Amino acid sequence: MLLSFPNWIIHISSALEWGVGAFLIFRYGTLTGRPKIRHFGLAMLPHWIGSFFVLGYHISTDSIPLLLDMSEVINFFGSISLLWATLNLLKTTGKSQAAGYTAALAAIVFTGKPQSYMGADIFDTILQLSSIVYLTFLVLLLVLYRRDRTVFSPLTIAGFWFVLVFISVTVFCIYLATDVRGFPTLSHDDLLHGLAESLLTVSNLMIAFGAHRKIREFESEQQLKGQG
């Protein structure tokens, strides 16, 4: 296998942490009696499933590219699910949706025009469209937090945004591994690959710990009300 044992631990941990984060957000929605938050936790599941396709790709020693392509397709629908869940949460704030849709449009315009995808490979197109949807989701997540700070912990929101750091560093590591260090792919450079993937682990931990913090805060508030 291309990955060393420590690198495998990092990859498996990042996948499990995202799943834990989804479960904790779902549980928080259950405890608070807010179904839209539960739906958000469920909306995280496609990305979680996509991560196992990536693991399968590495198990095959990167010999089945279709697994990686399928993860991109699943993650595309995962980004759409997160965007949909965030829009539904915005509706619960009882305020006009104009600001939310304006922010979504601004994110799309900022990231590029649709014409730029013409002629690209279908999976490259899906990856780029997924990035646009995810960026739109991030913008609306900030709008949601500004309107209702009881939904997510700032740490959880920072975790979702930190994914951009992971992506940026991964792109740079690919350049270093292939163009500077002479490896065929990033997977062949165990050091840089592990470094990049560790940032996704940090991101997922932030999401999970933030959700756990909201659960603890809610339980503490309930205890205080019970004592009062």
pLDDT in tens, 61-96: 999 999 999 999 999 999 999 999 999 999 988 765
User: Considering the entire predicted model, what is its pTM?
Assistant: 0.88
The per-residue pLDDT for 120 is: 47
Going from N- to C-terminal start, the domains of the chain cover 5-216
pLDDT of residue 108: 52
Query: 26 near 44, Cβ under 8 Å?
Result: no
Residue 22: half-sphere exposure toward Cβ, Cα within 13 Å: 20
Q: Which residues, including other chains, have CB under 8 Å from residue 175's CB and lie 6 or more apart?
A: none
Q: pLDDT tens for residues 18-38?
A: 999 999 999 999 999 999 999
Which carries the bigger pLDDT value, residue 48 or residue 1?
48
The C-alpha atoms of residue 52 and residue 64 are separated, in whole angstroms, by 14
> Mean pLDDT over residues 146-169, rounded?
96
Banded pLDDT at 119 (limits 50, 70, 90): very low
Which one has a higher pLDDT value, 103 or 123?
123
